[in-house]
Amino acid sequence: MSARPASPAADIDLAAAIVMHRDHVLIVRRSMTEKFLPGVWSLPCGKVGAGENPTDAVLRELREETGLDGTVIRFAGTSLPFESNFRGTAVRNLQRNYVVQLRGPAARAQAWPEVELPDKETQDFRWVPVGEIDKAGLDEHNRRAIRQGLTSLPQARQVSGSAQQVSGSAQQVSGSAQQVSGSARR
């Protein structure tokens, strides 16, 4: 009889931001110095502090990871739990996903909002058209979270004023279906 793997010692609550702007979703590349999934493209996401409200946590994480301010407009749902190792201990991660609308100057920007990454050397960001999520280099966990956010909105997507498809063919946004990335702007 084989030994059964140990159950995670603890649960970690996470909060992820599905940020929409001009029919694009913001994704960030994790720093290469991160111990967990370095260099992986994902949604802005992080741990919910002890006693912290998850909606406060998602906005704090968004600000810490991108310098952007937002407002939670909808709870999109939860992602499937996943296990990881945190400080030498097996943990189960429970992620809540929130659709976040930018506020302040970023919300009114005709161009792309200025994203301030904490580690400009090894991190990056992209604004990905909603129709190109499957081609953006995201893992299935993050693609599901984005789809969950898009489908949680009235009429499939109402953030920027018009209903959009969640997946399928690339859509035309402002005359082009190109991705806007931090590296292209440097």
Rounded to the nearest angstrom, the gap between the alpha carbon of residue 125 and the centroid of all alpha carbons in its chain is 11
Cβ atoms within 10 Å of 58's Cβ, excluding its own: 29
Containing structural domain, residue 134: 10-108+116-185
Q: Determine the Cα–Cα distance for residues 40 and 33; give it in Å rounded to an integer.
A: 11
Q: Which is nearest to 185 in space by CA: 131, 136, 126, 106?
A: 126
- Domain membership of residue 2 (yes or no) is no
Whether this prediction's pTM lies above 0.85 is answered by no
Query: CB atoms < 10 A from the CB of 88, how many?
Result: 6
How would residue 176 be classed by pLDDT, with cut points 50, 70 and 90? very low
Q: Is residue 1 part of a domain?
A: no
- Beta-strand runs (E) in 89-157: 89-102, 124-129
How long is the chain?
186
pLDDT value of residue 138: 94
Domain assignment present for 5? no
| Position 148 confidence tier, pLDDT thresholds 50, 70, 90 | very high
To the nearest 10°, report the CA torsion of 140, 141, 144, 145.
-150
Number of domains making up the chain = 1
135 vs 167 pLDDT, higher one: 135
pLDDT per position as a tens digit, 115-147: 998 877 778 999 999 999 999 999 999 999 999
SS3 70: strand
Distance CA 60, CA 55 (A): 9
Going by the DSSP 8-state scheme, the letter that residue 155 receives in this structure is G
Exposed, middle or buried by CB within 10 Å (0-12, 13-18, 19+), for 118?
A: exposed
Q: What is the pLDDT of residues 57-100, one digit of tens each?
A: 999 999 999 999 999 999 999 887 767 666 677 778 899 999 99
Q: Is residue 39 part of a domain?
A: yes
Is residue 137 one of the residues assigned to a domain? yes
In a domain, 4, yes or no: no
Which pLDDT tens digit goes with each residue over 16-37?
999 999 899 999 998 767 666 6
Q: What is the pLDDT of residue 87?
A: 66
Q: In this structure, is residue 28 part of a structural domain?
A: yes
Assess contact for 64 and 52: CB atoms under 8 A: no
CATH number of the domain that residue 39 is part of = 3.90.79.10
The pLDDT of residue 157 is 42
